[in-house]
Structure 1
Amino acid sequence: MKFNKIIFPALACTLMLGSCDDNKMEWGTPDGHGEISESEMPLALKEKIANYDYIKAYAAQYTPNLIVGLGLGTDEYIGNADYKAIADANFQMFTTGNAMKHQTVVQSDGTLKLTTVDAFLEAVPTDIQIYGHNFIWHTQQNQNYLKSLIAPQMNIESDSNVANILTGDASDFNNGTSGGWSSWGDNKEEQTIENGIGEDGTACMALKNKGDNAGAAYTAQCGYTFDTYLQANKEYIIKFKAKSSSNAGKLQFQYQNGTNYGSQGGYNTFDIGSTWNTYEYEFITTYEDVNRIILNFGEVGGTYYIDDIEFGLKIDDTMTNILAGDNSDFEGGTKGSWGSWGNSSSTNVSAKEEGYKSDYCVVLVNPSDGDDYYAAQFAYTFNEPLAVGETYIIQFYAKSTINSSGVQFASQNSNDYSGEGYHAFTLSTDWTLCEYEYTCTKENIDRILINFGKNAATFHVDNIKFGLKKEPQTKAVTRSTTITYIPKTAQEKKTVLLNAMESWIKGMAEHVGDRIKDWDVINEPITDNCQWRGIDGAFGGTDSEGKADIAPTEDAVNGLNLNWSNETGNGHFYWGYYLGKEYATKAFEYARQYCAQGSRLFVNEYNLETNPNKLAALIEFVKYIDQNNSTGAAIVDGIGTQMHVTASGITKEQIDAMFKTLAATGKLIRVTELDVALGTTTPSAEQLAAQSDVYQMIFESYKENIPEAQQSGITIWTLSDNPDEHQYWLKDQSPNLFDANYARKHAYKGVCDGIAGKDISEGFTGTDWEKVYE
């Protein structure tokens, strides 16, 4: 008989004080029982929970095949030492909440920003595994980038130096509307369209402030918000005609993100007189998410008349750049068609943020002084020779690690190596604009070179332009712009999206290498009504965060509406809508090709424990991938079930049935996102006990119904009930194993007992209470 089950204190110790020695306890004993030893005294629940070992110690002891993981936020893990210590001590695998998702990592140009991922990998102890989450989802994708890939080709016919993206009333207001310009601010009085007031006698826009309250420019603002972001590190021009009711009028230009009002910059103030004049300003933004331009009119009281607004990328007026589109700004992360040779030199694309006002440039390394510049050469060969008698311009930015060193421009016949047009540029350690006009005099000149072999140095070169010189305009002209759109075909969209998918999976997988061996390749592919999400009109239901799935409009399908389904701010993009069922097979093929050897590839889904039909549809989805991929063999290693459950809404029968069905697939089975909600942030003791029972039941059912060879493990979704972890997911809930102050809850005991298959605390003795206060 275990006496600590039948002996009861006559006077309870509060447990919350420093020691029971300070609160003498009197104990009653059963008839016939001798003196009671301290080891026979019972422990309170709080004492029992405190005496449990770390979770992963029990997992290693009782379930070596069952890896117990934690879903966590990288910011909390990296920035909170207490959080990290608890996570490291208790769990064998980590899954990042958002840090590895497409929308977080893929930038507007398709490059990968992996700073946070690298910091996380550096912080995680090497004996803790990492689960890759995730490659392909229908949400939290960089929608603006993906939609830009399938957008129609835009043809601009213009004699302006602005590739104007403001059309119709957004530019000239001639149809009597503002064309999308809107205004606001404490100092704004009105915004109107005035017929017959424009410089050419047509309509213009009039912005009036309150005059008496004139002060900061931003107190009255008029802005235009675009459907997609501006291109970072590119030259833009804002140009417009304006006049003011005041000779001392002022308008200020700026840009920003139109949703969160961040990424602000480009400030430039124009002095606006009482007669019509044309105003122009060039700028470069390094931000990735600018989508609004603003004219601030609050500084000087009056009415401002504005017309013929042009805004867009700057068109080079000096030359027709024939290198455009071949990555001669190196922002694609490659050298394009440029090649190099000579003097044991090397050329590579730079690290990010080393370019001239941009991310990337090319780095030319000459290891030793040469006899002349041509000892090391960086060259571009054209398909057709230059035209004899025509004048060309070469332009680029460059700098050197050594002051007064230099590079040389030359042109050449690539067959016999005869050349001409030699011109040297002296460089310093600061970026220098190198520009030279060259007239072709020889036949079959089809190569240009930047020779860098004379001085032992490292040269950075960026934004190379080369083309026919344009004749300068000798008289004022009326500029006009015509924009036409050519939609991409379904096959063109498919090709470019598959390339983007491959680039994303390859880039992430190769970057992390062997550090990650388990991958969530496709997340939530089945709708609640059991269809393939994004295929055959299946967009219904909600995702795991409760966000509505929105079907694309016809404009979205054609790539004309980049705002499609972005109202939720959740980056919805349905790969299957454009790629069909092939999106699933290709995702796994790319993952198998680029992930580390021996990696295990998973499909992940939610609500499988409560929706048997959805579970059956998911299994068919897995079968399709296994039977239709190009490897000729089964390619899906495992199935993940999220299991976001409630303590009062789930039964053992449901859990057992799901695990038995999953086990029958023969795949690895993993619980990927387990939490047990209680519907409150202040649960009662009874609710906490019920939560513990559900956690324990799920662990026991998993062990009972999933054969050991198929046990991949169970991941608890987030560490604690702290509000910082529940700003978006299960807000105002208490679903985790640790409370808001990172103290163990009753559920901690339930998980440990579920792992061990018994009540571990039955082995504790009365003396173990002291461990609570050590």
Structure 2
Amino acid sequence: MNKLYKMAMLFCTAAAVWSCANDSVLDFEYAKPESIANQEKIDAYKDLKTYVGRSGNPDFKLGAGISLSEYVSGGIVKRLVDRNFDEITMGYEMKHGAVVKNDGMFDFSGIDKLLAATQQSGVTLFGHTLCWHANQNAAYLKGLIAPVIIPSTGGPSWDLVTGNDFESDNTSNYQVNSNVTMAYTAAGEGANGVGRALKLTNAAVRANDWEAQLFIKFSPAVQAGEKYQLSMDIRSDVNASYPTQAHVTPGAYKHWDFFGTISSTPTWTTYTKEITVSAEQATCGVIAFNLGKTATNYYFDNITLKKYNPTGGSTIIEKTPEEKKNIINQNLEKWISEMMKKCAPAVKAWDVVNEPMDDGKPYELKTGIGKTLAADEFFWQDYLGKDYAVEAFRLARKYGNPTDKLFVNDYNLEYNLDKCKGLITYVEYIESKGQKVDGIATQMHISINSNKENIAAMFQLLAATGKLIKVSELDIAVGTADVTETMLQKQAEMYKYVVDMYSKYIPAKQRYGITVWGVSDSKKDSSWLPGEKQALWDIQFTRKPAYARFADGLNEMK
């Protein structure tokens, strides 16, 4: 109910000594503005974590994602978090790029401060994250697998640009279009009966030879006047001939000819061709082989592309895929073991693998192959293969506490239900290889207009796994800085809906908890959801309607 306000006016009758001979009070009242009344109702709510029904949800953790500096500084964010949440997750500071320096040494100074602060406050710390493709010290990792360069002693040389004998499964520089399948021969079926070869199948005669293509990628791109030599062992199940083209990137045609037309027979032969790059071929970094005119199996082995250096060049010794795999595996173990041992006294749960599934191919893993990578991107799976997560979980289990809860974390699971299913399938694969996955975390960076049916369906899919389920990075963007009261109410209802669906479909024994990603709205110049009003508190740390409805949802969770 709105309070009534009274104002009193004192009227004084002047006398010789300016004293008040008489005073009277004029009373009037007005209704409190609705916005103030509504805010008072929100401010009357208790701290968020007090609404969690602990008897029915004894292990549930209400979390907040914040930065290390926000917490260890002891300012308003820390005080707000300590009052309202059970657990915190660092946005960046526990990741590889924040801890591993350019010389490979570990800088735990920030984490030491964080551990001390959480021990003092009693707030638990969730480990985020051990194995991810972003926020890595990619320069250090790539340096470990870089080629060995032996300086030249002078004189002309042919310097290796790229090559492959196909004895390992790394085909990162090789790509085919949708009409060609790529595989390997059995051991002993390579050139001259040695090792393996690359096997390409074009199943039908195409109207155009370029409808079935193999691409060999290399860098840097060729320049006019340079000399290159292509050498490879080839054969095909039937006699065939196929032209080559110059492409800038796979499928981006540049010139009709690159290394001539190649003829192959059922017998292994060696094809060698030298060219001087023409102006029409300049800037190309891909050799395209047009295989579409003959329906057959094509075989390639011992491919080398070399560049002529008239003044002599350094000898470049590339590490084999197997050597790279061993080096990266060793460094994954070094990273996980050191991180787990440092944090074991305080951290009892981890995102072991973060964002593994591809958005466009949701049943497959992400890859950095064929992409221009950011400076901090390093795809462990491109070197360790599909079992990279198997290894990450093995190491986390080995070096952490025996009772640690280990999660896989991914985003857009409510947006793309196939991605949710793909992640569940990958978890099943990890466990088929002998490693236990305790939980699945769904990030849920959503909006006030997100599909509610999908949200409910996602929780049902996750619940059916029997795993612990965590909402790991919840925020709900309004999507505009020009927010209206209607938008704020819609946001509030969506926050409650998420909690309602979580409690409806996730059995109590599987509820690890819900973590909101950031406690206050982002500033307009923020790198994360700038000006999109996504949080429970506004930028001035005033509670929003979302706070109240989120608390209502927690209070109703039995």
Match of 2:103 in 1: 109
| Alignment counterpart, residue 42 of structure 2, candidates 34, 49, 53 | 49
Which protein has the larger Cα radius of gyration, Structure 1 or Structure 2?
Answer: 1
Q: How does 1:7-86 map to 2 (within 5 A)?
A: 25=29, 44-59=37-52, 61=54, 63-79=57-73, 81-86=75-80
Confirm whether residue 565 of structure 1 aligns to residue 366 of structure 2. no
Change (3 A) 1:24 1:103: farther
Quick one: distance in 2 between partners of 1:615 and 1:12? 56
Q: How does 1:45-444 map to 2 (within 5 A)?
A: 45-59=38-52, 61=54, 63-79=57-73, 81-124=75-118, 125-156=120-151
Quick one: distance in 1 between partners of 2:74 and 2:363? 40
Unaligned runs of 5+ in 1: 15-21, 28-41, 160-226, 228-479, 540-549, 554-563, 759-774
Confirm whether residue 587 of structure 1 aligns to residue 388 of structure 2. no
3-state DSSP of counterpart to 1:154: strand
Change (3 A) 1:607 1:24: farther
Check conservation: 2:324, 2:383, Cα contact below 8 A.
Answer: yes
Check conservation: 1:531, 1:617, Cα contact below 8 A.
Answer: yes
3-state DSSP of counterpart to 2:342: helix
3-state DSSP of counterpart to 1:117: helix
The letter of the residue matching 2:342 is: H
Confirm whether residue 746 of structure 1 aligns to residue 551 of structure 2. no
| Alignment counterpart, residue 319 of structure 2, candidates 488, 500, 511 | 488
Match of 1:649 in 2: 450
Check conservation: 1:647, 1:677, Cα contact below 8 A.
Answer: yes
Confirm whether residue 677 of structure 1 aligns to residue 482 of structure 2. no
Confirm whether residue 733 of structure 1 aligns to residue 538 of structure 2. no
Quick one: distance in 1 between partners of 2:88 and 2:391? 26
Quick one: distance in 1 between partners of 2:151 and 2:60? 60
Check conservation: 1:645, 1:677, Cα contact below 8 A.
Answer: yes
Quick one: distance in 2 between partners of 1:101 and 1:25? 59
3-state DSSP of counterpart to 1:44: helix
Quick one: distance in 2 between partners of 1:507 and 1:150? 21
3-state DSSP of counterpart to 1:645: strand
| Alignment counterpart, residue 707 of structure 1, candidates 507, 513, 521 | 507
Cα shift readout 1:633-656 (whole Å, capped 9, x = no counterpart): x510000000001002231x2221
Quick one: distance in 2 between partners of 1:143 and 1:722? 28
The letter of the residue matching 1:483 is: S
The letter of the residue matching 2:48 is: I
Quick one: distance in 2 between partners of 1:582 and 1:523? 14
3-state DSSP of counterpart to 2:314: strand
TM value normalised by structure 1 = 0.46
Confirm whether residue 693 of structure 1 aligns to residue 499 of structure 2. no
Unaligned runs of 5+ in 2: 8-25, 155-219, 221-310
Quick one: distance in 2 between partners of 1:499 and 1:683? 50
Cα shift readout 1:482-539 (whole Å, capped 9, x = no counterpart): 6321111111111000000000000111011220011001100001123466x5xx54
Confirm whether residue 551 of structure 1 aligns to residue 369 of structure 2. yes
Q: CA deviation at 1:681?
A: 2.4
Match of 1:716 in 2: 516
Q: CA RMSD in A?
A: 2.9
Quick one: distance in 1 between partners of 2:373 and 2:526? 22
Quick one: distance in 2 between partners of 1:13 and 1:49? 25
Q: CA deviation at 1:76?
A: 2.1
Check conservation: 2:147, 2:319, Cα contact below 8 A.
Answer: yes
| Alignment counterpart, residue 519 of structure 1, candidates 334, 340, 350 | 350
Cα shift readout 1:565-620 (whole Å, capped 9, x = no counterpart): 23xx4x11111111111211000000000112210000001111121111110001
Match of 1:639 in 2: 440
Quick one: distance in 1 between partners of 2:436 and 2:70? 35
3-state DSSP of counterpart to 1:135: strand
Change (3 A) 1:585 1:24: farther
Check conservation: 1:135, 1:520, Cα contact below 8 A.
Answer: yes
3-state DSSP of counterpart to 1:591: helix
3-state DSSP of counterpart to 1:577: helix
The letter of the residue matching 2:373 is: S
Quick one: distance in 1 between partners of 2:66 and 2:491? 20
Quick one: distance in 1 between partners of 2:67 and 2:122? 19
Cα shift readout 1:674-727 (whole Å, capped 9, x = no counterpart): 000001124111111111111111111111110011000000000101428x72
Change (3 A) 1:510 1:743: same
Change (3 A) 1:49 1:739: same
Q: CA deviation at 1:103?
A: 1.1
Check conservation: 1:110, 1:500, Cα contact below 8 A.
Answer: no
Quick one: distance in 1 between partners of 2:133 and 2:458? 24
Q: CA deviation at 1:24?
A: 6.1
Quick one: distance in 1 between partners of 2:556 and 2:66? 26
Quick one: distance in 2 between partners of 1:692 and 1:25? 32
Check conservation: 2:413, 2:458, Cα contact below 8 A.
Answer: yes
Quick one: distance in 2 between partners of 1:137 and 1:73? 18
Quick one: distance in 2 between partners of 1:52 and 1:512? 35
Check conservation: 2:64, 2:517, Cα contact below 8 A.
Answer: yes
Check conservation: 1:720, 1:737, Cα contact below 8 A.
Answer: yes
Check conservation: 2:369, 2:382, Cα contact below 8 A.
Answer: no
Check conservation: 2:522, 2:530, Cα contact below 8 A.
Answer: no
Check conservation: 2:522, 2:534, Cα contact below 8 A.
Answer: no
The letter of the residue matching 2:369 is: A
Quick one: distance in 2 between partners of 1:499 and 1:532? 28
Quick one: distance in 2 between partners of 1:23 and 1:141? 68
The letter of the residue matching 2:327 is: V
Check conservation: 1:530, 1:613, Cα contact below 8 A.
Answer: no
TM value normalised by structure 2 = 0.64
Identity of aligned residues (%): 37
Q: CA deviation at 1:154?
A: 2.2
Q: CA deviation at 1:13?
A: 9.8
Cα shift readout 1:401-452 (whole Å, capped 9, x = no counterpart): xxxxxxxxxxxxxxxxxxxxxxxxxxxxxxxxxxxxxxxxxxxxxxxxxxxx
Match of 2:251 in 1: none
The letter of the residue matching 2:42 is: I
3-state DSSP of counterpart to 2:539: coil
The letter of the residue matching 2:538 is: D
The letter of the residue matching 1:498 is: N
Cα shift readout 1:378-421 (whole Å, capped 9, x = no counterpart): xxxxxxxxxxxxxxxxxxxxxxxxxxxxxxxxxxxxxxxxxxxx
3-state DSSP of counterpart to 1:681: coil
Check conservation: 2:363, 2:419, Cα contact below 8 A.
Answer: no
Quick one: distance in 2 between partners of 1:501 and 1:642? 24
Change (3 A) 1:82 1:43: closer
Match of 1:376 in 2: none
Quick one: distance in 1 between partners of 2:128 and 2:6? 47
